[in-house]
Amino acid sequence: MTTVLICDDRRSVREGLTRVMSAVPGVSRIDCVAHGDELLARFSRQPVDVVLVGTQRAVPTGVEATRRLVSANPQANVIVFGAPDDAGSIAAAIAGGARGYLRWDASRPELVAALAHTLASTSVPAPRQPSDPGVQLTDRELQVLRGMSQGKSNGQIGRELYLSEDTVKTHARRLFRKLGVRDRAQAVAHGFRRGLVS
């Protein structure tokens, strides 16, 4: 049986995640905290199998809570939740020690399936690997990926690189395909793992 601790300062998010987690077979206990200090105190007092931490654009609390928890408890299995277009927060949380992430916009069946897999293995499945492990990104694709890792929109990346937004989207689609990922957040997380961005 698996124990879960949810950390997010939004009550509606905590309640929503609790409902979803309640539907995952094998979960024996779900607790919630609102802030990083509570998370550290609760985990040190009563460790759990999986910690779910919510992230928000331009709000560092989720990333900071992840970093502090993993720093104090390297064995903690932290999964972050974030918006699919908030690659910066998700990448920062992964760099801070999170084992993986799930998108806020995942459908309920996708979410339940991903959580069940996570709880079974205590890690989020990594994005599927490219068919050619030696695949290389072009300089332009790397520039687009680095822009994503800094949380920039396609428009902002385009202005910095003197490209149209449509051209940036084309480069993004190509790098997604090469990396075997579905969206910006997965691409950035994969980029951090492979050392393509820092």
CATH of span 137-192: 1.10.10.10
Q: pLDDT by residue (tens digit) across 90-108?
A: 778 888 888 777 777 666 6
pLDDT digits (tens, 9 = 90+) for 3-50: 889 999 999 989 988 888 787 777 788 999 999 999 999 999 999 988
Portions of the chain given CATH number 1.10.10.10: 137-192
> What homologous superfamily is domain 1-118 in, according to CATH?
Response regulator (3.40.50.2300)
Q: State the Cα–Cα distance between residues 150 and 29, nearest whole angstrom.
A: 36
From residue 116, alpha-carbon distances to 7, 105, 109, 110 in Å are: 19, 17, 10, 10
CATH 3.40.50.2300 residue window(s) in the chain: 1-118
**Predicted confidence band at 111 (pLDDT cuts at 50, 70, 90)?**
low
Give the Cα separation of 77 and 146 in Å (integer): 27
Single pTM value for the model: 0.61
